[in-house]
Chains A and B, each alone.
Chain A
Amino acid sequence: MSGALVFAWSGVLLFGLGLFGFIAHRHLLRRLLAFNIMGSGSFLVLVGLAQDGRGVDPVPHAMVITGIVVAVASTALALVVFRRWYRASGRTDLPEDT
């Protein structure tokens, strides 16, 4: 087992864990934490698996940097909507209708 593969495995566990949190939690801030953990998990899988047994690969590195920026933009957008929602309704979760 190479070091890269170890991190790919942690990525798998992180994705699973984050997915659980994303669905199980109702508090939107916690769901965003879970989303970011899932994101980190998939980044680890991306780089870890690509580098396992093959050495350093700059292409996934660039992809992950792009991914991190996209994740922070999504998180920031979500927080903006969340704060406006909280300000308008006083709730930290979404109403359970549908």
Chain B
Amino acid sequence: MIGLWSVPLLFALPLALGILSLLVTPAWRPRLIFVGLPLLTLASVDVLARLVLEGPRIYELGGWEAPLGINLVVDGLAVGMILMTTLVASLCALYARVYLRDYPASSSFFWPLLWLLWAGMNGIWLAEDIFNLYVGLEVMGLAAVGMVALRATPQALAAAMRYLLAALLGSLAYLLGVALLYATYGTLSMAGLQEAAAPNATTHVALALIILGLLLKTALFPLHAWLPPAHGGALTPVSALLSALVIKGSFYILMRIWLVLGPEVTPIFTAQLLGVLGAGAVFYGGWMAWRQHHLKQLVAYSTVAQIGYLFLFFPLVTGTGPEAARLAWDGTLMMLVAHALAKAALFLSAGNLILAVGSTQISHLVGISRFRPMSLFSFGLAGVSLMGLPPSGGFTGKWLLLHSAILSDQWWWLIVLFLGGLLSAAYIFKVFRMSFREGPQIDRSITPPLTLDVTALILASASILIGLTAHLPLFWLRLGSAFGAG
């Protein structure tokens, strides 16, 4: 009975909290997290426990079976994303409660937006219906745009507008793809589509539209232009949420739809093309990150680069053997989760460093290592995972991808993995070199509240820990997928 409750609560609870936070006075809005976070954690853990004990299942909303009604899918992948969201968003919320005290004009509406964003994301993770995914994408996307606009400075408004236009164009392309699929197969349920999928022109065009729309929303190079101003310019907890979680939403949908329609229906060159774009993102994003002068812009471009690795999934899983495909699945998901944890940690600790020196310029970080070792330690720990050094989650992910590439005789992706790591090392060490340099500029620093440092440190440690204990989460993530639980 409780299992029935926890699944809908994952989106109903944040929706309800979103409305409640509009109704209470501004002073009470942040306090709602003390109700919301424990309940959402409880629901997420309950869903995981049930997955492990009872196996994956389908939840029929309204008691209507798909394709008439909308179903939710509670498999390993969905539950993994839900837990990741709960962990990262909870820590970002705790961080924001303290951080936003300096931004009274923007802070009171951060909270309703956070809850609605959370509802949208959990809706996406659970969705099994492609039109429902469209509505979920809009909830998540518009909440994210609202968060970017929160500061209402001209820069923030321009970044929000750019982001909004990209998001709207992406959703429309996706919607048109859904329209074509419905006309061809008469169903919106992924299970139904998987059964009926056939290679014909309509499916190809629909898939192309869906892929293009989602690439724009995921900001894959060369469609990334909206990302750096939006992620780099937003309030720090917002940057962390957007970079760690929101872009994963559209990637997740792409992955699901690819596995439903892709392997049988798409020509193999599409998969290779996606891989090549991913490689382009790794190189371009890494290069641009290294060239930035502002700390958060550097971190934002690092996201552009890290998105690229996720797209190696497509060439490694399409038309390769079962073992290579399984490794690609494991590796991509490990990269995804590790990036979520590491990038949130990186943005939060970057925010702490900026608070400490009172400047966003990397060159003003000179000498900060003496004053803020803890912030810098979190930054470095997260950096280890982004660079892919052992024993981090980033390392495990790359290692699995590397094995998959070798097994499927696609050695060229090794170059991407290797050079990408070097580029990440270059931009991470750029920050470190500055912080350890002794200079006359700095003789004092502002001490940020302890909560800010602790939340960043927890996330950074998690990005390392996930690499050490990769076996179990990867086993759970495979439950109910085509890659077996073996």
Contact = CB atoms under 8 A, between A and B. Distances in A.
Contact of B145 (A77, A89, A95): A77
Main secondary structure of the interface of B (DSSP, over half): helix
A57 B149 CA distance: 40
B183 A49 contact: yes
Query: Interface centre among A81, A84, A88, by most B CB within 10 Å?
Result: A81
**Interface bin, chain B:** 20 to 34
A22 B169 contact: yes
B157 interface: yes
Given A70-B135, A74-B142, A81 B160 contact: yes
Contacts, number: 86
Nearest to A44: B179
Interface string A45-71: 110011010000001100100110010
Interface residues of A, number: 33
A28 interface: yes
B182 A60 contact: yes
Nearest to A18: B172
B154 A88 contact: yes
B180 A45 contact: yes
Contacts of A17: none
Main secondary structure of the interface of A (DSSP, over half): helix
Contacts of B154: 85, 88-89
Interface in A32-54: 35, 38-39, 41-42, 45-46, 49-50, 52
Contacts of A66: 131, 135
A49 B184 CA distance: 9
A66 B175 CA distance: 12
Given A42-B175, A70-B135, A94 B158 contact: yes
B227 to A, nearest CB: 10
Contact of A35 (B146, B168, B179, B186): B168
Contacts of B138: 70, 73-74
A38 B164 contact: no
A82 interface: yes
A89 B158 contact: yes
Contacts of B175: 39, 42, 46, 67
Contacts of B145: 77, 81
A84 B135 CA distance: 26
Contacts of A28: 161
Given A28-B161, A41-B176, A70-B135, 4 more contacts: A15-B172, A42-B175, A78-B164, A88-B154
Q: Which 7 A-B residue pairs are closest in the complex by CB-CB distance? A: A49-B183, A46-B179, A85-B157, A42-B176, A88-B154, A98-B225, A89-B154
Interface of B: 131, 135, 138, 142, 145-146, 149, 152-154, 157-158, 160-162, 164-165, 168-169, 172, 175-176, 178-180, 182-183, 186, 188, 225
11 contacts: A28-B161, A42-B172, A49-B180, A49-B183, A50-B179, A59-B188, A78-B161, A78-B164, A81-B149, A84-B152, A88-B157
